[in-house]
Chain A
């Protein structure tokens, strides 16, 4: 069945270091979405990527969609404590117009 692999599961960084999470799909995607979930909170939609090779930026966050539209990444430059949380990618289900298939998430932890 359709799967999305997200790595790493955890990433520990010092404040000010960079962070990256990757998602790889078993299928060619029409789009991919990214969400952030703060500790104790709920997932919040960040962005959707649609075009092959697309790169979008939101302040220190850079989102990329692969040329083949099978992978994506989220890179955070110079992490801050406000970046702490779990980042999920999600891709459309091939057999449904309404459902998303979710990655397992990458938890960003800032070392004290």
Chain B
């Protein structure tokens, strides 16, 4: 696609429910990144994919968080048993995968856990 597409754009969920966030990167971009941004804060790294593999999962806050990427394209970030502290904007970005390229971000998913 022309840009990075994320869905849904907004999600309100009840505490304890599971949620899935989707990211569709730019076609041909091999690297895909997930970040979390709380209101007025910086970018918190969660995980990145090179192709379908995730060399670095160190940013995932807990074992309630998981992510996968299939076909070197679409990625899904799953949060199980959501907690109120999970409320944030979840941003996905992609890049051509080699060093020295800028990231293209999607518009994000605003997650609110009530």
Contacts and interface: CB of A to CB of B under 8 A. Distances in A.
Interface string A33-70: 10100000111110010100000000000000000000
Contacts of A42: 91, 105-108
Contacts of B106: 42
Nearest to A31: B100
A102 B46 CA distance: 13
A78 interface: no
Contacts of B82: none
B87 interface: no
Contacts of A92: 99-100
A31 B101 CA distance: 10
Contacts of A97: 98-99
A48 B48 contact: no
Interface residues of B, number: 23
A81 interface: no
Contact of A98 (B42, B91, B97, B102): B97
A45 B100 CA distance: 12
Nearest to A39: B40
A30 B101 CA distance: 12
A92 B34 CA distance: 16
Contacts of B98: 97-98
A2 interface: no
B43 interface: yes
A42 B99 CA distance: 21
B50 A100 contact: no
A49 to B, nearest CB: 11
Interface of A: 30-31, 33, 35, 41-45, 48, 50, 88, 92, 96-100, 102-105
Interface of B: 31, 33, 42-43, 45, 48, 50, 55-56, 91, 93, 95, 97-100, 102-108
